[in-house]
Amino acid sequence: MDDATELRESPHKGRRGLRRLINALTYSLSGLRLAFHHESAFRQEIVLAAVLVPLACVIDVSAAERALLLVSVFIVLLVELLNSSVEAAIDRIGLDIHQLSKRAKDLGSAAVLIALLMLATTWGLIALPALLRLVGSH
C-alpha cells in the first residue's frame, strides 16, 4: 500500500501517542452523545442502566455475581451501539428496501434481543433471589 492509499483511508490513522488517545476519547464521547440524541432504544437502555447499575452495587451478592450483573447491563448498551452503527451505515447507503439491508438490520436487532435476554436471565438468577432474601428477612 502506498502513502496516498493510507491517507485516503483516514487522515487520522497516522496519529500516535497522546494525540491518538485524545482523538479516540473525543470520537467515543461524540458517539455516545449521538446515540443518546438520535437513538430512542439507547435512551431507554440508559434509563434501565441508571436503575440497574446502582441496584447491582447495593444488593447483597458476591463480587463475581455483582460483576455479572454489571457486565450484563453494559453488554446491552454495547450491542445497541453496534446495532445503531449498522443501521446508520445501511441508511447511508440508501433508504430503499433491500433484502440484504433488511437482513443486516434484523440481525442487529436480534443481537440486541439476545443481549436483553442475557440481562434478564442474569438478573433473574442472581439479583432476584438476593432481593427476595432481603424482603423475606424483614
Residues 112 and 80: beta-carbon distance below 8 Å: yes
Q: List all residues 6 or more positions away from 114 whose beta carbon is below 8 Å from its beta carbon.
A: 79
HSE, CB side, 13 Å, CA atoms: give it for residue 117: 6
CA–CA separation, 85 and 91 (whole Å): 10
The residue from 39, 45, 65, 80 that is catalytic is 80
- Output the DSSP codes for 90-135: HHHH-SS--HHHHHHHHHHHHHHHHHHHHHHHHIIIIIHHHHHHHH
**Annotated catalytic, 80?**
yes
Nearest to 85 by CA among 12, 30, 20, 7: 30
Residues with catalytic function: 80
